[in-house]
Structures are given as structure tokens and as C-alpha cells.
Structure 1
Amino acid sequence: MITHIVLFKLKDGSPESIARTAGVLKAMEGKIEELKHLEVGTDILHSERSYDIALITKFESMQALEAYQVHPEHKKVIEHMQEARETSVSVDFES
């Protein structure tokens, strides 16, 4: 398995904006065959080093992750995130 984790800090850190963006991420569930696990969490500590949202996804292979990256449903999410995010960081690893 490949685990893909992305942390997002949003331009608008209001609870409404965070909830809206978390909903956009969660909306991928069941729409992308290669996506075997999807988890979205919002920060509860709100410390200086916190990010607003965590996306945790799992794929059976690197090829599946690559297919996800270009899937039309994921591209919709990318469009939203390009507008909403201030910054993001990611890590991908074998699990």
C-alpha cells in the first residue's frame, strides 16, 4: 500500500471555510476507484504550527496513486484547493 498524506493551511481559517473545504475533500469518497481509504481531519489544537486540515489516503500501488492524481474528481479538488489553500505539505510512503 501507498499512504499519501497532505496537510493544508487555508487562506481563510474560519470554521465555515475549513468545514467547506473538508467537505470538498470528503466528496471524493466512492468516486475514485483507485482510492482505497480516505480520511479527512480538521485541527483541534490551533497552535502556531498547526495546519487546518489533514487528508490521509491509501492506494494499492504507485500506479494507483498516479491514476488518482489525474482523475477528474481529484482535479476538481485541486481547483478548489488552489483557491483555498495558503500552503500545503505532503508525504508519501509505503505502508
Structure 2
Amino acid sequence: MITHVVFFKLKDRSPESVEQARAKLQNMEGKISELLHIEVGADVIHSERSYDLVLITKFNSLEDLKAYNVHPVHQDVLAYMGEAKDGVAPCVDFES
């Protein structure tokens, strides 16, 4: 199994904006067959060094992760997050 983790810092860090981005990410659930598990968490500490959201996804294989990356639903999320994010930590993909 492959676990894919990404942290997002948003331009607008208001609770409403964070919730909107969280919902956009979570909305992928059930729409991409290769996506076995999705968890989206919002930061509760709100320190200056905190990221606002974390996305944790799981796939059966690297091939499934690659298919997810080009899936139209994911591409829509990438476009949205590209506009909403102020920064993104490098993702981590690991065998789990």
C-alpha cells in the first residue's frame, strides 16, 4: 500500500476558507476508484508555523497513485488548491 501525505497553507486562513478547501479535498472520496482512503484534517493549533490542512490518501500501488494524479476529479482539486494555497510542503509518498 502507498500512503500519500500533503500539507497546505492557505492564502485566506479564515475558518470559512479552511472549511471550503477541506470540503473540496474531501469531496474526492468515492469519485476516484484508485483512491482507497482519504483523510483531510484541519489544524487546531493555528500557530504561525502551522499548515492549515493535511491530506492523507492511500492507494494499492504506485500505478494507482499515478492514475489518481491524472484523474479529472483530482485535476479539478489541483486547480482549486493552486488558487487557494499560499504554500504546500513537499509531499511524502511511502509504503505502508
Structure 1 length-normalised TM: 0.98
- 1:49 Cα deviation from its structure 2 partner: 1.5
Partner of residue 94, structure 2: 93
Partner of residue 24, structure 1: 24
Q: How much is the aligned-residue C-alpha RMSD, in angstroms? A: 0.5
Using the aligned pairs only, state the percent identity. 59
- 1:46 Cα deviation from its structure 2 partner: 0.8
Please show how residues 7-18 of structure 1 align to structure 2 within 5 Å: 7-18=7-18
Q: Per-residue CA shift, 1:45-93, capped at 9, x if unaligned? A: 1112210000000000000000000000000000100100011111111
Unaligned runs of 5+ in 2: none
46-55 vs 3-12, which deviates more?
46-55
Partner of residue 41, structure 2: 41
Q: Secondary structure at the match of 2:12?
A: coil
Q: C-alpha distance in 2, partners of 1:20/1:56?
A: 17
Q: Secondary structure at the match of 2:47?
A: coil
